[in-house]
Amino acid sequence: MVFTDIATRTYNHNWRLDPIVRSLLDTDFYKLLMLQMIRQLHPQVNATFELINRTRSVRLADIIDEAELRAQLDHARSLRFGKKELIWLAGNSFYGRRQMFSPEFIAWLGEFRLPEYELHRRDGQYELRFHGPWTHTMMWEIPALAIINELRSRAGMKGRGRFELDVLYARAKAKLWEKVERLSALPDLVISDFGTRRRHGFLWQRWCVEALKEGLGERFIGSSNVLLAMDADLEAIGTNAHELPMVYAALADGEEAVASAPYRVLEDWQAHYGGNLLIALPDAFGTASFLRHAPEWVADWTGFRPDSAPPIEGGEQIIRWWQDKGRDPRTKLLIFSDGMDIDSIEATYRHFHGRVRMSFGWGTNLTNDFRGCAPFATDDLDPISLVCKVVEANGRPAVKLSDNPAKATGTPAEIERYLRIFGEAGRQTAEVLV
């Protein structure tokens, strides 16, 4: 006789909702680091975040049911940090430091909930915006992206047979494991999971993290996903994001203040954090400009996270700058995190090996690479380039120039203004796939 657990089966066929985000810790670690600082220094700033689908050809509003999307967003809004989660945040060491988060911040988190959202459909896309205090809207970025990406995955799998899904996941697992085997040939590799926002799904991200842990051992240093880090006793990885210089620049009065905004971010950051958290993100308004005008002390920081220049060129540019400043790059850290995949990780590792410390933040191509995995050809599961960016701060437009003009955000007029301030040196357009 075949035994079927009738309660489980009945539940599986009747649940009201299969929540995508089930914990407020299911977010990227750097959000919490930034949030603690923002709450202290900028509690009154309002910031608007907005969903931007750079892959316009994928008409998300035609693919994802609006009622389902609302149900998931509403479910995320119902979440609170759990008691166990807050105890862990308070008691765990992060980046070798105890009490990274102040008791007062932890207490504030205990009251936190995600703010309202504004959702419309236009031209086959969703317009999804979050208005309100920066301390609240910024926390939507990761869950909003994870929800939309997973709803798209689910839509792409809807109606597929049990066997098809079996082959799909078998091939995705085999594909990832081939990558892990190639990575395991790099003895000094340091790599972490940065794939929360773009993941195929939560359970899949968890599998990917497990695969890196099993296959790479100590070379896999952790996950940007706080929930996975907690559950698997991994390090939570991450530092800071573009939203800091973008908001600082948006709030700045006058061109000089805009030009110095990126460095004021670093000043504030180093007042809060130290050590391996002193990683500068140089490309918000172009890396060349950032380096040229950077104060001397920026060279004392631990490293950089080049996030839009081609990794080898971007890394070389920073190494030259350190050398010009009389620093030894072998003591410095470069974190590569822009659309990395097995080929670019291997090439970058081999190029810089021995010349600089390196770490890789592996995102979309770790947690959402189903290309060619479906047993019958489809591109419904190919990753898209979806971001959720700050677009306004206290009513003023926010801008990102990036080293790659295809990744710039902001109104054309504001982008023009920023280009006049920061210059165009070193920017080059590359296709943004993920």
**Closer CB to a copy of itself, 178 or 256, in the complex:** 178
Stretch that binds a copy of itself, among 56-64, 138-146, 160-168, 403-411 (CB under 8 A): 160-168
Under 8 Å between Cβ of 390 and 243: yes
Q: Is 417 in the site for a copy of itself (CB under 8 A)?
A: no
The piece of 135-143, 149-157, 166-174, 217-225 that touches a copy of itself (CB under 8 A) is 166-174
Q: For a copy of itself, which stretch binds (CB under 8 A), given 19-27, 210-218, 289-297, 341-349?
A: 210-218
Tokens of residue 126, six digits: 């969703």
Closer Cβ to a copy of itself, 5 or 253, answer by number: 5
Q: Which of 161, 254, 326, 354 binds a copy of itself (CB under 8 A)?
A: 161
* Block residue for tokens 């190494």: 319
Query: 65, 74, 166, 416: which one contacts a copy of itself (CB under 8 A)?
Result: 166
Query: Minimum Å distance from CB 175 to a copy of itself?
Result: 8
Which of 54, 171, 327, 417 binds a copy of itself (CB under 8 A)? It is 171
165 near a copy of itself, rule: CB under 8 A: no
Note whether 8 binds a copy of itself by CB under 8 A.
yes
Q: Which residue has the tokens 């995102």?
A: 363
* For a copy of itself, the closer CB: 274 or 375: 375
Q: Per rule CB under 8 A, is residue 221 in the interface with a copy of itself? A: no
> Per CB under 8 A, does 423 bind a copy of itself?
no
How far apart are CB 194 and a copy of itself at their closest, in Å? 21
CB of 171 to a copy of itself, least distance (A): 5
| Position 19 contacts a copy of itself (CB under 8 A) | no
- The nearer residue to a copy of itself, 191 or 209, going by C-beta atoms, is 209
Residues 243-281: b if buried by 16+ CB within 10 A, e if exposed: bbbbbbbbbbeeeeebbbbbbebbebbbeebeebbbbbb
For position 123 contacting a copy of itself by CB under 8 A, the verdict is no
Which range binds a copy of itself by CB under 8 A, 49-57, 147-155, 172-180, 286-294? 172-180
Residues in the interface with a copy of itself (CB under 8 A) total 20
Does 346 engage in binding with a copy of itself (CB under 8 A)? no
In the complex with a copy of itself, the residue whose CB is nearer, 88 or 169, is: 169
15 contributes a contact to a copy of itself by CB under 8 A: no
Residue 375 sits in the site that holds a copy of itself (CB under 8 A): yes
Look up residue 325 and give its two tokens: 């400043």
**Binding of a copy of itself by 177 (CB under 8 A):** yes
Specify the stretch interacting with a copy of itself by CB under 8 A; choose among 68-76, 129-137, 163-171, 257-265: 163-171
Examine residue 424 and tell whether it contacts a copy of itself (CB under 8 A): no
Cα–Cα dist 19/23, whole Å: 10
Verify binding: residue 3, a copy of itself, rule CB under 8 A: yes
DSSP strand pairing (303-304 vs 235-236): unpaired
Nearest distance, CB of residue 215 and a copy of itself, angstroms? 7
Taking CB under 8 A as the rule, which mask of x and - marks residues 287-316 in contact with a copy of itself? ------------------------------
Contact between 302 and 278 under an 8 Å Cβ cutoff? The reply is yes
Can you give the chain as a three-state secondary structure string? CCCCCHHHHHHHCCCCCCCCCCCCCCCEHHHHHHHHHHHHHCCCCEEEEEEEECCCCCCHHHHCCHHHHHHHHHHHHCCCCCHHHHHHHHHCCECCECCCCCHHHHHHHHCCCCCCCEEEEECCEEEEEECCEHHHHHHHHHHHHHHHHHHHHHHHHCCCCHHHHHHHHHHHHHHHHHHHHHHCCCCCCCEEECCCCCCCCHHHHHHHHHHHHHHHHHHEEEECEHHHHHHCCCEECCCCCCHHHHHHHHHCCCHHHHHHHHHHHHHHHHHHCCHHHCEECCCCCCHHHHHHHCCHHHHHCCEECCCCCCHHHHHHHHHHHHHHCCCCHHHCEEEECCCCCHHHHHHHHHHHCCCCEEEEEECHHHHCCCCCCCCCCCCCCCCCCEEEEEEEECCEECCECCCCHHHCECCHHHHHHHHHHHCCCCCCCCCCCC
Assess 17 for contact with a copy of itself (CB under 8 A).
no
- Under the criterion CB under 8 A, does residue 131 sit at the interface with a copy of itself? no
In the complex, the residues that contact a copy of itself under the rule CB under 8 A are 3, 5, 8, 161, 163-164, 166-167, 169-171, 173-175, 177, 210-211, 214-215, 375
